Homo-oligomer: A and B are copies of this chain.
């Protein structure tokens, strides 16, 4: 049984032409071993650069560009979440109206920070994830931290001095409010400390204005969730086409989701720009194979009841449809989970993350994403507080029913109304608009999901 020109499985019985090829009729092939892969063997035909495309963004002190002007409140530990949520409401009600150029305030709440084996070999992943999220370009280089005091993840471990480029005129260490400090007498004194710190950052953020910057400053994370059999023929190819345009415009585009690329590993390693990049792909996918093995599962644990009801037979078929989001350009860089892109790492990037929508999105935020593209066939109201999410429907029926949740209808390809190229260009222009301030549906309804950390190390 072949789809996308690869074997997705052997028919375990005769299947009538035109009938449904579902999971139970297929024997899934074993995962390709990570030995003897083609390494950086394909040199895609060079494409002319795309010049002159720009958007209106917020230039940061480190040179990166925000698509939103947000105050983020970094937290070291879940213990402070209740107090921070209370302060957040006060900031929204009392302070934000005085700072009209600030788009919003976001609490970086999470479940890590204490009650975890913080010196375990894999603890580096959640720790650097939190560090790097607080430095996301949409937060303008302003960092304020709320800590409890006694937690394992001490502020200086989360943000070692020297890791941050702060705003000109800002203090050169992050603002720190520690609830257990002796100066705090009573709950309201904690709230006052947070509000006072926030106000200083809001004043600086409020002085910023959007300016015209080249499209090369976009750092776009792509992922899919709630996929169906249309994902790989409408939305994902259109995203892949737009990805190629973004790379030609000098921008950065990240794709992820280890278990959804694992069966296409040959395509990845052969498309690597250099043998070193190919080796990094093998290293990350090999690490992830072993992570799944320790938990006594494999890549087939990925698929969902909805995928299957939507016509995807197994993870091989899902992976082939997923990977087309990455377009056809050479893979220029690889990131391990929680790592942050350097400013000189442009082009197509494989950010090796779990496929879980929320973990993938959280790790792409840590990598430095300033714009997110999310394709869905079954439909999900996914959103992030820290970054605009452009949602692309794979089918016109979904786009019609979820008319105020889906930002683009790739079902038009299946309907014959538009070509993949046309839709890819439409998405490219939409991304520049959203980067410039046009609000997505999720932003209009203020829909956002939690940050979910990838913590392969034990809790205690």
Contact = CB atoms under 8 A, between A and B. Distances in A.
Interface in A55-104: 78-83, 86
Interface string A437-460: 000011001111110101011111
One complex includes copies of this chain to the number of 2
A383 B118 CA distance: 24
A151 B305 contact: yes
A301 interface: yes
A115 B358 contact: yes
Interface in A107-152: 109, 111, 114-122, 148-152
Interface stretch (A27-35, A278-286, A373-381, A428-436): A373-381
Interface residues of A, number: 84
A214 interface: no
B382 A306 contact: no
A78 to B, nearest CB: 5
Contacts of A225: 79
Interface stretch (A202-210, A339-347, A364-372, A398-406): A398-406
Given A179-B379, A354-B115, A442-B82, A109 B150 contact: no
A355 interface: yes
Contacts of A416: none
A356 B116 contact: yes
A418 to B, nearest CB: 23
B355 A180 contact: no
A185 interface: yes
A317 to B, nearest CB: 16
A148 B304 CA distance: 12
A389 to B, nearest CB: 10
Contacts of A117: 292, 295, 297, 301
Contacts of A295: 117, 120, 122, 456-458
A80 B450 CA distance: 11
A115 B190 CA distance: 37
Given A86-B447, A186-B404, A115 B150 contact: no
A302 interface: yes
The 10 A-B pairs with the shortest beta carbon distances in the complex, nearest first, are A150-B306, A115-B356, A82-B447, A295-B458, A117-B301, A150-B378, A117-B297, A111-B452, A302-B460, A354-B459
Interface of A: 78-83, 86, 109, 111, 114-122, 148-152, 154, 179-180, 182, 184-188, 190, 225-226, 259, 291-292, 294-297, 299, 301-302, 304-307, 309-310, 354-360, 378-383, 401-405, 441-442, 445-450, 452, 454, 456-460
21 contacts: A78-B358, A78-B450, A82-B449, A83-B381, A109-B450, A115-B358, A150-B304, A150-B305, A151-B305, A180-B306, A186-B401, A186-B402, A186-B403, A186-B404, A187-B402, A188-B404, A292-B458, A292-B460, A299-B460, A301-B460, A456-B458
